[in-house]
Structure 1
């Protein structure tokens, strides 16, 4: 019958019955479009398209057009005030430097953890992921406490040896080091996955043939993991270009401006200059888009680096020999500097009445008054509720849209389904601060009363983190065969029942992992929040930012410690729940 309809539609069959067959075909298609499956999927497509395209469209229109006429006035004013060359140079130096440091640390740590017999491998793995829970804002503030030229703890301790102000965190080197250390755990996570899926036979053969560890790493490991390294460079490069906390806190005091900090400056004027902010945002968007396009060109060549085939393998740890303990000590020193010190300085500061360099006397006078204050303060309690609400709703909304979108991309045969995946990926190129500017352009003009409410923050988080949810859902969907769906449909189950009774349980591990990640980054988010919040809709990151601006260092440290503890508990509970649901539940 379907063959007959196709031949009728293409005109291969002519005759009196042709028009009747065509009418029946369009009636069948009309009935199909009214089915719940089509209506649900169509709604998902419209929501994804709206989230991805409308802010960009308004941003470009509001920046490049004035009274409906193409105008370059905003760009001319922006770059005569602050040159494009200076901002581009600072942005690229900062981004490339931080990315290089992050990827270098991540590759080396992942290699030692997955390929060698380094001591305490499990502890190294867990310790490498701990900073993912620490918000970038808090991490940067902790390093200000540690390496500020005048009041930094490290400078005070090392002054007898190296003189005053040995470390200066308010410099380009400071920006690169702090941002690089902050993003190193993400690089480690990306590279661990690559090392685990790579056949180690070439490395083992090189070791057996007498190759040194350095030669094996340089001549075999690095070339074979080149696609993963390029992916890490792309992801971290985009994150560093769009980052706001570190350039704002460390760069602005030193007059080292990048695009994000310059956008923030022009929006702090009275009245805010949305035209200039839009011009800087469009320029930043073009730089990020060019980086992703360049990566996609290199990605097409990744097949030549394949090492996993149909032949099984079992990796064997490369012995470090006499270098085992020294390398273990070096890794522990890194953990102490990059993770333990920033956390300890936040905990110490949170127990003081005012910030000062630690001494035994001050440690002995520790107090919990700051914690009592933040729990009794109504504004802090409201910010805590707002952060939890936005984290839960944004994570749930992202994963709901992603689960349906990934089914459409992977399972369905709908024409144009590839467009859904591309639309969901599009917000990845929009930096958080740029998204905030774009949403201001939209909802100051659009007759939808969400500006100044919690919902504009929800829309920002939903848009910003949709690409990450889509990646988690699609990766899980590709691993699930379609036989169970087909069997259920043959048995008479509706599409929706098949989806939530079969697909959702099978997808649950990936959905929980994606939900946990989106929740963490939503609670951490500052770039878009700082432009879109209003009195009554503050979140924890905004509270910490305002307290830093007001010099309330001890209270912000206490709030930061509570924020880290809260995120740790919620993510831990989510992971435990994820381990008990889905496919594993049937065996319990």
Structure 2
């Protein structure tokens, strides 16, 4: 009996079992409770009967169709913006001789340390109808008859898409660096141009990585809440995330409908993850066999070097830096104003002085610090251990 139990009681087996149990508790149990709540006719913690009424109410109403359509357009559009922006910036910084690469890198990395909520608020300030800097430029200098309105689907797609470009950029730069340039060099020697080589050779070799980046962007977009909440709800554009939020804030709260929306929401996300796993499972078919070390050569852009560098820097500044600067600028003003002499005269530190006099601000800072450190540590330990197991 002891011999039979010895393999089970080994320390490594116990650690693996404990890690699996913790991960299952943190992931599977909430999903099961969500599924269970969608079949109940009572709030959580209250005895209720099994019912299909939540699904019937969801399917017979128009909310499901509208939320699905808006979610699909929003996710596909923003993931496309993130994918195209990430591919272009990654190719220019990794596979071309474009100057000012370090500046582009620095600008792209900034959004990774800024919460998406602040970025969204920054875009709202920039496109304010009366005082927004970009709307002032558009109406007074670019000849626009009306201010640009971001409270629509296009605005939602742009804000989230631009915010996800840094993640796509980082993933694709790693793929560009790891790719063997032998086939590219052969295509150049055969007389193929840079553009044709990039589309017919480079992108085909990197197809698994490209699909993976696009699918990750799609899944992150369909899970996003900040942009649909701050832009979509005022504009009347509801997606699955905001439908779940609104269902839990009705009076009386409809937990069953919220759970049902969340189950459909989860199913769509699971399909995206399944497609991602299928796309990355065939990556070995795109491997270039080589027996020597290599370093990807940069394409010579010729006279286009500096125009493309200027374009990349300007785009990165507007997309990643300007919203953050807008939030910082407004923190020194009694109310938001576009940069001007009057605004410069109104700059003050009073907002920061009042901030530290708020009764709960110190507790909020401490709770945020503890939450950030503890959650990141637990996640890193669990993911590293599970990655070692797999």
TM range (shorter): over 0.9
Moved more, 353-362 or 253-262: 353-362
Q: Which runs of 5+ in 2 are unaligned?
A: 42-46
Distance (Å, rounded) in 1 between the aligned partners of 2:388 and 2:280:
24
Provide closer, same or farther for how the CA distance between residues 33 and 219 of structure 1 changes in structure 2, counting only shifts above 3 A.
closer
Larger Rg: 1
Distance (Å, rounded) in 2 between the aligned partners of 1:408 and 1:301:
22
Alignment of 1:356-375 (within 5 A): 356-375=337-356
Match of 1:153 among 128, 133, 142: 133
Task: Give the conservation status (yes or no) of the 8 Å contact 2:94–2:298.
Answer: yes
Structure 2 counterpart SS, 1:341: helix
Distance (Å, rounded) in 1 between the aligned partners of 2:347 and 2:6:
71
Provide closer, same or farther for how the CA distance between residues 207 and 404 of structure 1 changes in structure 2, counting only shifts above 3 A.
closer
Distance (Å, rounded) in 2 between the aligned partners of 1:260 and 1:315:
42
Give the deviation of 1:273 after TM superposition. 1.3
Give the deviation of 1:171 after TM superposition. 0.6
Is 1:102 the counterpart of 2:77 in the alignment? no
Q: Structure 1, residues 442-490: CA drift from partner, whole Å, max 9, x if none?
A: xxxxxxxxxxxxxxxxxxxxxxxxxxxxxxxxxxxxxxxxxxxxxxxxx
Alignment of 1:312-391 (within 5 A): 312-391=293-372
Counterpart residue number, 1:78: 58
Is 1:44 the counterpart of 2:19 in the alignment? yes
Give the deviation of 1:164 after TM superposition. 4.7
Structure 2 counterpart SS, 1:263: helix
Give the deviation of 1:376 after TM superposition. 2.7
Identify which of structures 1 and 2 has the higher relative contact order when contacts are C-alpha pairs closer than 8 Å and 6+ apart.
2
Task: Give the conservation status (yes or no) of the 8 Å contact 2:40–2:256.
Answer: no
Give the deviation of 1:36 after TM superposition. 4.2
Distance (Å, rounded) in 2 between the aligned partners of 1:301 and 1:44:
29
Counterpart residue number, 1:571: none
Alignment of 1:109-188 (within 5 A): 109-160=89-140, 161-188=142-169
Structure 2 counterpart SS, 1:376: coil
- What's the TM-score once normalised by structure 2's chain length? 0.92
Task: Give the conservation status (yes or no) of the 8 Å contact 1:197–1:308.
Answer: no
Counterpart residue number, 2:203: 222
Task: Give the conservation status (yes or no) of the 8 Å contact 1:103–1:187.
Answer: yes
Provide closer, same or farther for how the CA distance between residues 401 and 372 of structure 1 changes in structure 2, counting only shifts above 3 A.
same
Task: Give the conservation status (yes or no) of the 8 Å contact 1:204–1:318.
Answer: no
- What's the TM-score once normalised by structure 1's chain length? 0.62
Distance (Å, rounded) in 1 between the aligned partners of 2:148 and 2:238:
20
Task: Give the conservation status (yes or no) of the 8 Å contact 2:228–2:242.
Answer: yes
Is 1:60 the counterpart of 2:35 in the alignment? yes
Distance (Å, rounded) in 2 between the aligned partners of 1:402 and 1:296:
17
Alignment of 1:231-242 (within 5 A): 231-242=212-223
Distance (Å, rounded) in 2 between the aligned partners of 1:36 and 1:199:
42
Task: Give the conservation status (yes or no) of the 8 Å contact 2:216–2:276.
Answer: no
Tell me how large the CA RMSD over aligned residues is: 1.9
Give the deviation of 1:42 after TM superposition. 2.7
Structure 2 counterpart SS, 1:377: coil
Give the deviation of 1:308 after TM superposition. 5.0
Give the deviation of 1:277 after TM superposition. 0.6
Give the deviation of 1:68 after TM superposition. 7.0
Counterpart residue number, 1:295: 276
Give the deviation of 1:356 after TM superposition. 2.3
Give the deviation of 1:165 after TM superposition. 3.5
Q: Which runs of 5+ in 1 are unaligned?
A: 1-25, 410-588
Task: Give the conservation status (yes or no) of the 8 Å contact 2:168–2:213.
Answer: yes
Match of 1:198 among 153, 168, 179: 179
Counterpart residue number, 1:476: none
Counterpart residue number, 1:254: 235
Moved more, 338-347 or 37-46: 37-46
Counterpart residue number, 2:387: 406
Distance (Å, rounded) in 2 between the aligned partners of 1:173 and 1:306:
38
